[in-house]
Amino acid sequence: MTADSATLHKKIKTFFGYDTFKGDQEQIINHLLSGGDSFVLMPTGGGKSLCYQLPALLMEGTAIVISPLIALMKNQVDAIRGFQEGESGIAHFLNSSLNRQQAAEVREDLLRGITKLLYVAPESLTKEENIALLKEIKISFYAVDEAHCISEWGHDFRPEYRRIRSIIEEIQPAPVMALTATATPKVQSDILKNLRIQDARVFKSSFNRPNLYYEVRDKNEPEKDIIRHIRQNPGKSGIIYCLSRKKVEELAQLLCINGIRALPYHAGLDAKTRAENQDKFLSEEIDVIVATIAFGMGIDKPDVRFVIHYDIPKSIEGYYQETGRAGRDGKEGTCITFYSYKDIRKLEKFMQGKPVSEQEIGKQLLAETAAYAESSQCRRKLLLNYFGEDYPADNCCNCDNCLHPKPRFNGKEALCLVIELVDTLREHFKLEHLANILTGATNSTIKTYKHDTLELYGAGKDHDLRYWMAVIHQGLILHLLEKDIDNYGLISATDKGLEFLLEPYDIMLVEDRTFSEGSDDDDDEPVASPAGGGGADDVLLKMLKDLRRDVAKKKNLQPWMVFSDPALEDMTILYPLSIKELSEKCQGVGEGKARKFGQPFVELIGRYVEENGIERPDDFIVKSVAAKSGNKVYIIQSIDRKLPLDAVASAKDLDMDGLLTEIEAIVATGTRINLDYYIEEKLDPDVVEEIYNWFREEAESDSLEEARKALSDDYEDIEIRLVRLKFLSEVVN
């Protein structure tokens, strides 16, 4: 069957109300109508579903759409039925959510030849009774949606997808269309090979979504950041992704407590609740859905204005697909991801116990995600490079790194060192191992291969591991190096790289960003450290910093001890006009600090607001869930009674690290605590004095990470943390 362009345009208008096709849609549809196999690689929002929906309505027989996503099935079936009023049997889905009567209705419509589109879960496709049913009807074609699930290197590998080809052959032959929104070259190859459609025509759209803004934030008070963002964008639809069901429930509850219309969505909810919550989001009864990755795939809501990842995703493909649910109408879409080092360690821990090959793949995918998060390069350039596409410009002007660029350095010598090392090794190795050789690290792998005897061993010891990993990553982006995905990411030099080694030229590189450690437990309130977002009112921020410097000079303190940068940034967004507002609204500002330093700041803000006619936002006080405040009260009361900290930790089922994190969160709000009784018992007075003096005289902020780097060689972590708490309570608070 074939159709001319005029006919197709008429049909798309009749069936879907569209005047034109997007991108390659018309070519893809014509290829399928002519009986050819096809592979469609099209980013979220590009219009993949139309590529099989329109042909299904035009061709004789029933199109079988294989998808793992129950949410997508229901959503698309409802949409098709909506376009074809009075023909409810024209589209059906067949999966585990149907009861016996519903399944019988589907069977009857199929056998009568009414159904043009049948959505089938891969698990349902493998059942003998369903195979027998499909043998009785005429199949127009098979559409394998979310085809990346075929590959172990895809972000959502599903073993049952491997059986699709053999089941197709058992039922009856028909053209096959594979579709995915996200696949690296390796995954693309796996899809074509496993479905045995190597001769399929490949339709590959650009992965670039120019309307999406990408940002990675330090995971420092993420709940407050999220609530602030939603309040600054009232009425806009958004999706927040969390890795655990527990965090989904907690965050949805927190948003509701703070006056935001939100509901949870995860696989632990019963099917009825999931469907109701999804429908409320689609019908705009709520603004925000908090979900695990079980939600959103295929949801046809074009006006999602923000996608927030509370936890870093496990792969770049997963990240790209989930962020792709924002701005599908081509208008604004904000993609914010929170990141900390401990989140990566948590995800690595989850892999333990899995087969070794699966762990290796998982670790490599996770390493790519971490590198993306920590990079200071254009995020759009990084994403497109990952999918085998080059972004022509150096600055996309629509990501955090391009809008707030870090200083660059000439990487000519560093890249030459890396390429020389790669070229002299007899075998290929992973990125981190190469960086370890250059820094002169000592570990079992280096000793096994005797790489500590190499001439270049330790040649880059003037820089740390993160520096060299950043250089190597940028070498990959520049195609001076390449990574062999089939062999777990082994690095080799390209011809272009070898030419560069012979005739080097200046190349400007940028160092990666650093992030806070993050919390061991999702329940922990994060420790205050400088935020990187910048104030909403740059003019006021400069005035407040000048005032802070003057106050600090009079008090003989360093500026950060008066108010932290995050506190000043909050002032530029929330414009507190009283000491009470200052202590309630701004992070790290307790009542004591507000009374001690706050008066000139609220007076300055008051004058600024009046002179500039500024309309202040609604009060921004994050109301917390009761259980957290109960923990806080118990800890403060226990310390007031001078109870041993190990006893306090045991009573709350915490280890010492967890308890200190709780205490740090309490102190970060501006509360003073007195741990002298414990410090005097456990720490040498000279140790206390030296660490205390470092904070007073040398520290540039209250960052624990900065203190660890400066002091870790001489002092244990617990000593630094205890003295830091003493200093913050006595001097800063």
Residue 553, domain CATH: 1.10.150.80
Interatomic CA distance for residues 368 and 585, integer angstroms: 37
Return the minimum-mean-pLDDT range out of 61-70, 256-265, 484-493: 484-493
| 196 and 109 within one domain | yes
Residue 420: Cβ within 10 Å count: 16
In a domain, 369, yes or no: yes
Q: Can you give the pLDDT at residue 625?
A: 54
Q: What is the CATH number of the domain that holds 156?
A: 3.40.50.300
Mean pLDDT check: name the lowest of 305-309, 323-327, 374-378: 374-378
pLDDT at 623 over 60: no
Output the CA torsion sign for 78, 83, 86, 88: negative
Provide, rounded to the nearest whole percent, the portion of the chain with pLDDT above 90.
Answer: 34
- What band does 270 get if pLDDT is binned at 50, 70 and 90? confident
pLDDT score, position 539: 87
Minimum mean pLDDT range among 16-25, 142-151, 664-673 = 664-673
Whether residue 44 is found in the same domain as residue 188: yes
Instruction: Specify whether 149 is located in the same domain as 80.
Output: yes
Mean pLDDT, the chain, integer: 84
pLDDT of 609 above 50: yes
Q: Which of 374, 403, 432 is the last residue of a domain?
A: 403
pLDDT over threshold 80, residue 624? no
Model confidence, pTM: 0.59
Asked which of 369, 403, 437 is the last residue of a domain, the reply is 403
Give me the pLDDT at residue 2, please.
67
Same-domain check for residues 573 and 664: no
pLDDT at 85 (0 to 100) = 52
Looking at the structure, tell me whether residues 100 and 228 fall in a common domain. no
What value does the mean pLDDT take over residues 49-76?
Answer: 82
- pLDDT tens digit string along 489-503? 789 999 999 999 999
| Alpha carbon distances (Å) from 554 to 396, 562, 654, 685 | 44, 11, 42, 30
Strand ordering across the sheet containing 237-241: 212-218, 333-339, 304-309, 237-241, 288-291, 262-265
**Residue 389 counted as domain residue:** yes
Give the model confidence (pLDDT) of 449-476 as tens digits: 999 999 999 999 999 988 998 899 889 8
- Domain of residue 333, residue span: 212-403
Residues 703/668, Cβ–Cβ less than 8 Å: no
Confidence of residue 522 (pLDDT cuts 50, 70, 90): very low
Of 406-415, 419-428, 619-628, 704-713, the range with the lowest mean pLDDT is 619-628
67 belongs to a structural domain? yes
User: Tell me: the pLDDT tens digits for 392-419?
Assistant: 888 999 999 999 888 888 999 999 999 9
Q: Determine the pLDDT at residue 86.
A: 47
Q: What is the rounded CA–CA span in Å between residue 419 and residue 424?
A: 9
In a domain, 619, yes or no: no
* 397 and 444 together in one domain: no
Together in a domain, 234 and 133: no
| Domain membership flag for residue 172 | yes
Q: What are 74's two structure tokens? A: 């229901």
Q: Half-sphere exposure of 613 toward its Cβ, with a 13 Å CA cutoff?
A: 0
Query: The domain that contains 459 carries what CATH number?
Result: 1.10.10.10
Most confident of 38-42, 696-700, 703-707: 38-42
Whether residue 620 is contained in a domain is answered as: no
Question: Same domain, yes or no, for 399 and 424?
Answer: no
Structural domain count of the chain: 5
Residues 241 and 367 in one domain: yes
What is the reported pLDDT for 529?
A: 31
Token digits for 58? 């035009």
Position 716 in a domain = yes
Q: Are 562 and 656 contained in the same domain?
A: no
- Would you place residue 528 in the very low, low, confident or very high pLDDT band (cuts 50, 70, 90)? very low
Q: Same domain for 194 and 228?
A: no
Q: What pLDDT was estimated at residue 336?
A: 97
Minimum mean pLDDT among 234-248, 486-500, 608-622: which range?
608-622
Q: Each residue of 87-96: pLDDT tens digit?
A: 567 888 887 7
560 and 681 together in one domain: no
Q: In 205-261, where do the E strands start and end?
A: 212-218, 237-241
Which of 344, 370, 403 is the endpoint of a domain?
Answer: 403
Q: Is residue 525 part of a domain?
A: no
